[in-house]
Amino acid sequence: MRVVCNKEDLAGKVALAARIAPVRSTHQVHEGILVEAGGGEVSLAATDIELSIRTALAADVEEEGRVLIPARIFNDIVRSLPEGRIELEHDSSAGVIRLATRGNEYKIRAFAAEEFSELPELNPERSFTLAGNALIETVDKVSRSYSRDETRPVLTGVLINFEDSRVRMVTTDSYRLSIKETPLENEFEGSIEAIVPARALQEVKRIYGGSGEEGIQVSLTENQAVFGIGDVVLGTNLIAGSFPEYRRLLPEVFEREISVPRRELLETLRRVSLFVQRQNPPVPVSLAFSRGELEVMVRSQELGEARERLSASSDDEFTISFNPEYLLDGVSLVDSENVIFKFNESLKPGMIVPESEDGEEGDFLYLIMPMRDPYRS
């Protein structure tokens, strides 16, 4: 293999692939980036057997070929070489790839690529293109409440559903639940549903953010979701298993609906949380409502206590406590001027939604389990 291409372009693409290639893998071949030259371009591929990435850039291909290059060192060298043209030449008898720019020459060990896995492809006939910002906005709204605990893998994923002309995403870590629906211009036949690893969607967001593209191509098969963003194709294995029946968790009616100014509440919560950062078990933050007023309280046995008062649309006395971090997440995800809290009893889940202008159902909700307040019970 022998190619010449622009160093900056190559460095950007190698960096994308190197993020996916694992530092250590049970299949050592995957610690490398597969580099293929042919048809006027150089394509790169990497996988950690869950996520996979392919990307390509234009190049002068003087000799076609296929080689596997250890990811970390390849990325580090290409990134730090001076700008301009870079030459890649594979010497298969010596087992090295030569990287050369003006006056610089690096040789890295390179390997035969026969054992590399077949990566999922974007099937153009079974894929659809979405407005990228709508997809990413939806991902952002549900990204706080997926589980980081890998003992229940299904909760580390995002339930994605395409139906009619909207996308819905759901995540839950069993302490809170986020649901976000976003309208799309597409029209879907039937319902398409999958559990996609949250990590994969974060990667899609990163790639989209740096791409300058508008659309994201999506194709879903039984085992894989594949996202096409410009010349990058990101594949991910889907998570097997069944997602919790989240609709059953949503109370049908709420006894109370209280509106609180969002900005003030957010500032208050950030301040009072200073008392409870990194405490385990978490110290609850209590919301004590009375007519027209909300008192936010935190008591830490070790450090002291905090109280703040805010205005609220409440009309009876009611107190409920939450994990401060989870409450902050919910309030910060709402983007209307006021936050609407919906409550039943103190030990039943509460709901946080944005204020709607016309009284219609909003397209985002955040359900949160209360904590028992040790100072009250």
Partner 1 sequence: MSVFGDIVGHRDIIRSLESSLAGGGLSHAYLFHGPEGVGKRTVARRFAAVLVSKGEPSRRALAGLHPDVVEVEPEGAFTTIGQAREVVRLAASRPLEGVRRVFILRADTLNVQAANALLKTLEQPEGESVFLLLAISRESVLETIASRARSLRFSPVPVPEVEELLKRRGVERAGLWAALGRGSVGLALRYAEEPGFREMREAVFEAGLSFPEDFEGLHEAVERIAARAEEVGAAEEAAFLARAGEWEESGRRVKEGARRARRAGRDRAAAEALELLALVYRDLAAVAAGVPELIANTDRREELEQAVERYPGADWAGAARVAAECRGQLTYNVTLEAVLEVALLRILRQTRASSPAW
| Site of interaction with partner 1 (CB under 8 A) | 23-24, 26-31, 47, 49-50, 52, 70, 72-73, 109, 111, 114-115, 117-120, 150-151, 153-154, 156, 197, 222-224, 237-241
Q: Which residues pair with 58 in a beta bridge?
A: 41
Q: Which is nearer to partner 1, 159 or 327 (CB)?
A: 159
Q: Which residues pair with 354 in a beta bridge?
A: 339
Are the C-beta atoms of 144 and 333 separated by less than 8 Å? yes
Min dist CB 184 to partner 1, Å, is 25
Min dist CB 172 to partner 1, Å, is 16
Q: Which is nearer to partner 1, 197 or 330 (CB)?
A: 197
Return the amino acid letter for 161: N
Return the amino acid letter for 151: T
Among 53, 43, 42, 99, residue whose Cα is nearest residue 76: 99
3-state secondary structure of 265: helix
Distance CA 344, CA 360 (A): 20
Q: Which is nearer to partner 1, 37 or 195 (CB)?
A: 195
Min dist CB 145 to partner 1, Å, is 19
Q: Which is nearer to partner 1, 23 or 253 (CB)?
A: 23
Among 74, 45, 40, 70, residue whose Cα is nearest residue 57: 40
Min dist CB 146 to partner 1, Å, is 14
Are the C-beta atoms of 84 and 4 separated by less than 8 Å? no
Min dist CB 26 to partner 1, Å, is 5
Q: Which is nearer to partner 1, 66 or 166 (CB)?
A: 66
Among 114, 154, 139, residue whose Cα is nearest residue 241: 154
Min dist CB 259 to partner 1, Å, is 41
Whether residue 251 has a cis bond before it, omega within 30° of 0: no
Quick one: tokens of 33?
């980036």
Are the C-beta atoms of 298 and 272 separated by less than 8 Å? yes
Min dist CB 52 to partner 1, Å, is 7
Min dist CB 114 to partner 1, Å, is 7
Q: Which is nearer to partner 1, 27 or 307 (CB)?
A: 27
Among 274, 260, 287, residue whose Cα is nearest residue 325: 274
* Strand pairing report for 318-322 and 285-290: antiparallel
Min dist CB 58 to partner 1, Å, is 29
Distance CA 305, CA 217 (A): 51
Quick one: tokens of 101?
């720019």
Q: Which is nearer to partner 1, 51 or 232 (CB)?
A: 51
Q: Which is nearer to partner 1, 120 or 354 (CB)?
A: 120
The secondary element (H helix, E strand) that includes residue 36 is: strand 32-38
Q: Which is nearer to partner 1, 71 or 283 (CB)?
A: 71
